[in-house]
Structure 1
């Protein structure tokens, strides 16, 4: 059943999203950053995955980098918002920090992965978010708008990929048949990267390892996996570039 407390209403996030979009789409050709004072960082784009030196998480596509030092930052980490609010935590005020507070290991409330670098932290409640997780889109739609994913804080059904519950936030299809953990979206790309495969293998992995049935359900599974990859490359990995989503869409059509 639809739960207002779980769903991130796009209207509530509009101001923050608009502000972030304005900043991100400026695409300054060169910036100075406190984490790399020795050189300026240049805006770059590559379809090869990279490790962000800010949040220490995987990235792809748009970034700010120093070619002399092999230093890369997500755009979210390059030009972060000093603070932000998230509808999942209406009583919290998240503040950008360059490293986790305290000596105890901390984990992102969205993906449940360890926090090793840049983050957003609420000092009142102790909640933490990776910069890219904090900016996850609330609604993802396929090209034909038949497959829509909604972001939930919790869902009762098992993840389409891992078959488990829990593990933080999930994207759920509007038909409520499919769920995918935010963490699993990233793992799909990480596995493909380590195996030396391309984005197409991520789509195939989502189809083959999923729990879809026969006939029409298999087709729906492939559509869902394709949208999930778009989420991965455009949100979880920190790049809103539409070009990558278009590339993935063409791969899905040929799968």
Structure 2
């Protein structure tokens, strides 16, 4: 549900207005990166993901059928906690299961079980046996895998790509090469599948690029965001 303007407990000074922008932001609720739809206070430069601005008081998740996750504005206790979806630290808003001790970032908790850009369909898995196109490892965090089983991306790896490239994403500069260093690992992995057929390899890279964009959009909290301009360098592996 979307409202044009809301009041929020985390920012009582001013109301937050809904806006859509392709400029990346850091959510002041969960402290994670976001893009696309958000609630913003322009006076204080305060931003919230949609999932952080209008959270559910409690949720269930198909990966944890015995759990009931409660929304919290801060982690319980003094022990550092991490998200069971992406394996990254929890530093702000979260969903917590008291019975099992599991934690989820709000955007991770709301990751779509299926993504599609019209050509590629990707499905969310708790674990997959195939290697990730980014790190080459199996298992690890939740993953998105294409229905053809050629493309697999850890949610954790996508977040690492974004974190390592945050300066460039945030300031819109191409001075740093840190973002571009993510490309060869993806490109070289894809080349191993079709190193005898350049045409097929190029198409494979293009399809993988679409898959990456879909997953990044979902991880950033807005699977409908059109962010080709922002992350184009991430997926230009051809």
TM > 0.5 fold call: yes
Q: Distance in 1 between matches of 2:125 and 2:179?
A: 22
Structure 2 match to 1:229: 213
Q: CA deviation at 1:167?
A: 3.0
Residue in structure 2 matching 1:123, options 98, 104, 107: 98
Residue in structure 1 matching 2:144, options 164, 171, 174: 171
1:187 and 2:160 equivalent? Answer: yes
Q: CA deviation at 1:250?
A: 9.4
- SS of match in other structure, 1:160: coil
Q: Distance in 2 between matches of 1:169 and 1:120?
A: 16
Q: Distance in 2 between matches of 1:142 and 1:62?
A: 18
Q: Distance in 1 between matches of 2:139 and 2:173?
A: 28
1:238 and 2:221 equivalent? Answer: yes
Q: CA deviation at 1:169?
A: 0.2
Q: CA deviation at 1:139?
A: 1.3
With normalisation by structure 2, the TM-score equals: 0.84
Closer/same/farther in 2, CA of residues 176 and 204 from structure 1, 3 Å limit: farther
Closer/same/farther in 2, CA of residues 44 and 174 from structure 1, 3 Å limit: same
Closer/same/farther in 2, CA of residues 59 and 170 from structure 1, 3 Å limit: same
Structure 1 match to 2:201: 217
- CA-to-aligned-CA distance 1:166-212 (integer Å, 9 cap, x gap): 331001121222210012222333334323458xx999776532111
> How large is the Cα RMSD of the aligned pairs?
2.7
Q: Distance in 2 between matches of 1:142 and 1:250?
A: 16
Closer/same/farther in 2, CA of residues 206 and 226 from structure 1, 3 Å limit: farther
Structure 1 match to 2:70: 95
Closer/same/farther in 2, CA of residues 52 and 248 from structure 1, 3 Å limit: closer
Q: CA deviation at 1:239?
A: 1.6
Structure 1 match to 2:135: 162
Structure 2 match to 1:85: 60
- CA-to-aligned-CA distance 1:146-165 (integer Å, 9 cap, x gap): x2211100112221011123
- CA-to-aligned-CA distance 1:97-154 (integer Å, 9 cap, x gap): 00111111110000000000000011111111000001111111232x3x22111001
Structure 2: unaligned runs, 5 residues or longer: none
Q: CA deviation at 1:232?
A: 1.1
The 5-angstrom pairing of residues 1-255 of structure 1 reads 23=1, 26=2, 28-143=3-118, 145=119, 147-195=120-168, 196-197=172-173, 208-210=184-186, 211-213=189-191, 214=195, 215=198, 216-233=200-217, 235-242=218-225, 244=226
